[in-house]
Amino acid sequence: MADAPKRRDIVLVVDDAPDTLSFLTDTLEGAGVTVLIATDGASCLELVDQITPHLILMDAMMPGIDGFETCRQLKQDKGLQHVPVVFMTGLGDTEHVLEGLKAGGVDYVTKPIVVEEL
C-alpha cells in the first residue's frame, strides 16, 4: 500500500525585492513548506483567486498597491479572512506597525529578517 502524500503548508510571499524572495524561498522550502511568490499587490490578489495559502508574508512597501492596501482587500474576501498576514518591512515605526495591524495583519517583523523571529 502506497503512503499518502504528506500535506505541505503553503506560504505566499509578497515582496518586490529579489534578495528577500530568494532568501525566504530557500528558508521556507528547507523547512518543508511550499512557497508561492507574488512581486506586487495586484499579483497577490490574482493568485489568491486560484489558491488559498495557509499564511501570507507581506512586504508593506511595493510598487502599485502597497502591502497595507493589499491586506485590506484580502480581508474583505470572506474566503480569505482566516488567512493570517504577517507584514515584513523595513518600516519599524509604531505608526507603520499599527497601520499593518489595522489593515488586518496578525504580526509585523522588520527587515532584515531574522529567521528565528519569523
Show the domain range for 77. 10-110
Q: Is the pLDDT of residue 6 over 70?
A: no
Q: Is the pTM higher than 0.85?
A: yes
Domain count, the chain: 1
Per-state percent for the chain, helix, strand, coil, to nearest 5: 35, 20, 45
Identify whether 5 is part of a domain.
Answer: no
The CATH number of the domain holding residue 85 is 3.40.50.2300
Answer whether residue 98 is part of any domain: yes
3 in a structural domain: no
pLDDT at 89: 83
pLDDT, tens only, 44-87: 999 999 999 999 999 999 999 999 999 999 999 999 999 999 99
**Cα 29 from Cα 65, distance rounded (Å):** 27
- Band of residue 3 on the pLDDT scale cut at 50, 70, 90: low
